[in-house]
Amino acid sequence: MADVFAITGSAMNAQNARLSTIASNLANANSIAAPGDAPYRAHEVVFQAGPVDASDTEPGDDADPAGQVASLGVNIVGTVLSNAPPVQTYDPSSPYADAQGYVTGSNVSQVGQMVDLINASNSYSASVAVPQQATRVDQQMISAFQVS
């Protein structure tokens, strides 16, 4: 049972990091850069499957020879910057326009970020539901084997 909580906990941490990154991207979506400065670039969280801390293991859990429970979960590797080109808008009257009259904005796709936001939110909700369902199944098994 500890595996379920460790694995889903790692998934919730990963989706929380993703939601925070999306919020930051959306907050900077309409930012513009001064001439000569780099515009805001969208960030993306990188995940990797890896061992999770299941130190609250129970007797009978599958353990490796070192006594550690072999559970894989989601680890956050870091963030990377999007390679999408920045948005160039022609506005020669802007104080942020370059010599050709273009204003450079962030490369954040608001529609793409909203799609990612919905996906991350659904993934987080699913990760919350798994341990709840596992607990219900455990309770049903216990009540099924209780002697009246």
**128-139: per-residue pLDDT in tens?**
998 888 888 888
What would the mean pLDDT of 60-86 be, rounded to a whole number? 77
Paired with 84 in beta bridges are: none
pLDDT digits (tens, 9 = 90+) for 95-147: 999 999 999 999 999 999 999 999 999 999 999 998 888 888 888 888 888 87
Q: Could you tell me whether strands 72-81 and 43-51 are parallel, antiparallel, or unpaired per DSSP bridges?
A: antiparallel
E strands, 5-96, are: 32-33, 43-51, 72-81, 87-90
For the chain, domain boundaries: 2-145
Paired with 69 in beta bridges are: 63
Contact call for residues 124 and 16 (beta carbons, < 8 A): yes
The CB density around residue 55, as the number of other CB atoms within 10 Å, is 9
